[in-house]
């Protein structure tokens, strides 16, 4: 009998799981993950004190020459802003502040992941 092996999680999924754990350790409370808002998606929506954070996670393998956070272009920023507006319309909180954070993750084969949190990344 031949056993099927479950493929390991895709790189992006591993990154999002690591980012969620990292954010929790940093004191964030995860509100939602992989949220579709209209045509756009937000990887993680979390609360950091009195601030709602829309978090974009970028994951790369070690061999990639460009750091993960440098792959976010103006178009992605505008998509995240549109998604944030939709989320705020659905979940208004007049007491909350809002910001965009980025978690950059480099996953070296067999090594420790390098995780960097950029708060208020789209100022």
Q: What is the pLDDT of residues 40-88, one digit of tens each?
A: 999 999 999 999 999 999 998 887 788 888 889 999 999 999 999 999 9
Residues ≥6 apart with Cβ < 8 Å to 38: 82, 83, 86
pLDDT tier at 1, thresholds 50, 70, 90: very low
Q: How far apart are the first and last CA of the chain?
A: 57
- Looking at the whole model, is its pTM more than 0.85? yes
Domain 11-118 has CATH 3.40.1350.10: yes
């Amino acid at each position: 009998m031949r056993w099927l092996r479950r493929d390991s999680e895709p790189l992006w999924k591993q990154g999002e799981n690591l980012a969620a754990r990292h954010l929790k350790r940093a004191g964030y409370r995860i509100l939602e993950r992989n949220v579709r808002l209209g045509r756009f998606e937000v990887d993680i929506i979390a609360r950091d004190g009195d601030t709602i954070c829309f978090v974009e996670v970028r994951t790369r393998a070690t061999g990639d020459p460009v750091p993960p956070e440098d792959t976010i272009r103006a178009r992605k920023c505008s998509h995240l802003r549109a998604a944030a507006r939709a989320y705020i319309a659905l979940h208004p909180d007049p007491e909350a502040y809002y910001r965009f954070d980025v978690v950059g993750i480099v996953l070296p084969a067999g090594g420790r992941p390098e995780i960097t949190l950029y708060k208020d990344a789209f100022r």
